[in-house]
Structures are given as structure tokens and as C-alpha cells.
Amino acid sequence: MTVIEHARPSAAVLAGAAVLALCEEARLSPKPGLVDGRGGGAHDDMDLPLMLASAEALRPAFHEIAQTAERTPAGAGLRERLGVLGRRGERAMLRATGGVNTHRGALWALGLLVAAVAGGAAWHRGAWDGAAWDCGPWDRAIWGRAAAREAARLAALPDRRAPVGESSHGDLARSRYGAGGARREAENAFPHVTEVALPRLRAGRAAGLGEEAARLDALLAVMSLLDDTCVLHRGGPDGLRTVRSGARRVLAEGGASTGPGRAALMELDDELRARRLSPGGSGDLLAAALFLDMVPWPEPAEQEVLACRR
């Protein structure tokens, strides 16, 4: 099999897509328990302008991550360098937000995916996966899965420069409840992104839903399944059951685009606000899905299989 090489997007394009994905996730409304244009959701220290400022503050970090991945072979050295850049980006975020942790989890997920796309291995793997022995149809999902697998390889490598003794709320929830959290999601190649959020998003569009409804249904699909450590930290297992069962109910009622589904969505939002339950991990994974959806992957017309043999 021979595949025509496709020019990978520049570091500036990838950084722009990552920032836009964070902004689009923040603007999406009405999100149960999360910050959106209506206010802070379950948070009393966040609002939409703060989330947008946080996303923009991460642009230089995403740009440098992409540039570094372009010129550094995949391996432990790249993983350690990404850790340094991620921690630098986190400090920039905290300066922009006055110390509020708005996007730590999203920086981890999107940083790995930006590096995976910029590094180029995902493009090669996606090309081979697209051939699938029988020269089957190409689609954008192939490339997204390839990038997620490449990100998983990076996530599994040790970061020997990481400071010792630092623990996030997600770390504490993982330790207490045995949840996988953001690290396991990345090491497992982002299954809630590639197998849940993106398929639901694309199915909604194919069914004629508006973009807002398709994105909300994708978020709810993730919420219905994810062991969200943000929720576990605030509400424990009972809070997680509330989030997951509430999201399933909205989807069972037809999703965000229907009257019954919208009513169930608003009821869930009221409950999460009252109990201060924020499904922030689900929001981060929706942003990751939006990023992969925005990457300018090759279109079928740009790919030419010159020879296929079993």
C-alpha cells in the first residue's frame, strides 16, 4: 500500500484548535453543573469570562508542545519535556485566573493529543488503519483513534522530572475510590473521547440535530459512563451515581433537542448546582473530542491507495 503524504497542520493551527475547543466547551449551554454563559454552575469561583481567559492563557503552552513534538522523537525524552511544558502552562493558567484551577485536566488531555497529532506518528498509523486490509472506507474517526493511541503511548511513559508529593483533587479521588481518572483515560487511548463523545456527536449531526444539541448529547453520553473524579471529589460515589443516572435519563427522554429531554436536563442541572457537583472531567473530555473533530485530517479525495493486497 502506498499513501500520498498529507501535510500535517502547523503548531499554530493545532494550538488554535486546542484553545477553540476549550472555548467552545465553555460556551456550550445549558451544561448541567458546569460553567457556561448562564453562570458558574456548581462553582462559585468561576464564570465564562474566566474560562475563556484561561483557555487563551494556554495557547503558548499548546504551541510549544506542538513544536516540541514536531522535532523530538517519541520516547521518554519527549514525555519529560511535555511534562515541563505542561507545568509551565499550568502556572500561566493560574496567573490568568488568580489561582483558580480551571483547566488542569483539560491541559493534560489536550496537551497529549496535540503532541500526538504534531509528532506525525498518528498520521502514519491512521493511514495504515484506513487501509484495513480490504481498502475499506476512510473516515475522520480513523485518524482520531490513531492520535488517541499515540497519546496513550506518551501518557504511559514515566516523567522523571515531575515534582514529588504534588496531589490534585483527582489524585485524591483516585486514591480513595479507585477510579482511573484522567491518567487512566489517557493511558487507555481516551475511550470516552473516541468511542463515546465523538460517535455521539457525529450521530447527532447525521440525525439533523443542531450543533448545540449534538454537543450536549455527546457531553451527556460521557457523563452517563465516566467515573468522573471531579464528581467523586465533591460528592463521593453517591454523587457520581446522581450524575450518571441523571445523564442517562436525559438521553432516554430523547436528549437535549426534545422537550422531555430538555426538561430532564434542567432538572439535572438544578440538582447538580444544589449539591455542588461539577462533572468537570466529562467537560474536559468533550473538549478533547471537539479538538479531534477540528483537526484538519486528510479527506478521502486526498488519499490515494495505489496497491492493496491481502
Domain count, the chain: 1
pLDDT digit of tens for each residue in the chain (310 aa)? 344 456 789 999 999 999 999 999 999 999 999 999 999 999 999 999 999 999 999 999 999 999 999 999 999 999 999 999 999 999 999 999 999 999 999 999 999 999 999 998 666 666 556 544 344 445 788 899 999 999 999 999 998 877 755 556 566 666 676 666 789 999 999 999 999 999 999 999 999 999 999 999 999 999 999 999 999 999 999 999 999 999 999 999 999 999 999 999 999 999 999 999 999 999 999 999 999 999 998 865 555 443 343 3
Q: How far apart are CA 4 and CA 55, in angstroms?
A: 35
Question: Domain containing 207: what range?
Answer: 11-158+178-298
Residue 2 lies in a domain: no
Say if 310 falls within a structural domain: no
User: What is the DSSP track for 170-185?
Assistant: HHHHHHHH---HHHHH
Look at residue 5 and tell me if it is in a domain: no
Question: How far, CA to CA in Å, does 179 sit from each of 169, 176, 231?
Answer: 12, 8, 11
The closest of 158, 78, 156, 161 to 118, measured between CA atoms, is: 78
Choose among 201, 186, 180, 175: nearest CA to 150. 186
Q: Of 26, 30, 27, which Cα lies nearest the Cα of 268?
A: 30
pTM (predicted TM-score): 0.91
At 281-302, the pLDDT tens digits run: 999 999 999 999 999 988 655 5
Q: Is residue 240 part of a domain?
A: yes
Grid cell for residue 144: 482520531
For residue 195, being part of any structural domain is answered with yes
User: In whole angstroms, what is the distance from residue 84 CA to residue 70 CA?
Assistant: 16
Crossing angle, helix 104-119 and helix 76-97, to 10 degrees?
Answer: 140
How does the average pLDDT of the chain come out, rounded? 89
Asked whether residue 27 is assigned to any structural domain, the reply reads yes
305 found inside a domain: no
Q: In the structure grid, which three cell numbers stand for residue 3, read together?
A: 499513501
